[in-house]
Amino acid sequence: MDYILIARIEQTFGKDGFVRLQSFSDFPGRFSDLKKVYIDFWGDKKTFYVEDVKDAKGKIIIKFKKFDSLRDSQTLIDREVFVDEKDALSLPDNHFFVHDLIGSEVVVEKVRIGTISEVIKGKANDVLVVLTDDKNEKLIPFVLNIIENFDAAKKRLILNISKDFLEDDED
């Protein structure tokens, strides 16, 4: 089975077994429809059934069945939350799954510049962290007008920018 990372459990919330999630989804409404998720324990995915989902000031709060106290839910802190790939949302045009972007090679002016190691969520736009082949990090704003093509199957992102755009400022 293939899994898609959708969140990380940040902390407990209240005393009734709820936990607060850090969502990796641009569609927070997706959580209210979840019936089950998979939580990673040392590389092994365990099935958890969702009992309740709330929104608390923009944060997703979730309760799993049989987790009824603060003590129960503490074991979940810092764990990653996945869904089965077949349960993934179908994305609208020009939206991408973070897990598809991570590890993708980045090409500028027909030259490979590195691979995406992380996607940072920003207020205005997301930012790609690209680990270059010479082991430097480049931060590239992830905006639609610079994307020439993204092939999730081939893990290849072609950007329509010049190499000068990637040069470090010396100021």
pLDDT recorded at residue 33: 83
Report residue 128 as tokens. 């790609």
Residue 88, classified by CB atoms within 10 Å of its CB into exposed (0-12), middle (13-18) or buried (19+), is middle
How many angstroms separate the Cα of 31 from the Cα of each of 28, 60, 89?
6, 8, 11
How many other CB atoms are found less than 10 A from the CB of residue 162? 10
Average pLDDT, the chain: 86
| Position 41 confidence tier, pLDDT thresholds 50, 70, 90 | very high
Which residue in 143, 91, 138 sits closest to 116, CA to CA?
138
Least confident of 25-39, 86-100, 127-141: 86-100
**Residue 72 CB-half CA count within 13 A:** 13
The pLDDT assigned to 120 comes to: 83
| Cα–Cα distance, 85 to 25 (Å, whole number) | 14
8 A C-beta contact, residue 158 and residue 150: yes
Task: Give the pLDDT score at 4.
Answer: 82
Positive or negative, the Cα torsion across 40, 37, 122, 156? positive
Rounded Cα distance between 49 and 105, Å, is 36
Determine which helix (DSSP H) or strand (DSSP E) holds 39, and give its type and residue range.
strand 36-41
Residue 31: pLDDT over 60: yes
Confidence of residue 25 (pLDDT cuts 50, 70, 90): confident
What value does the mean pLDDT take over residues 3-20?
92
Helix (H) or strand (E) holding 71: helix 70-74
More confident residue, 96 or 125: 125
DSSP 70: H
pLDDT at 58: 80
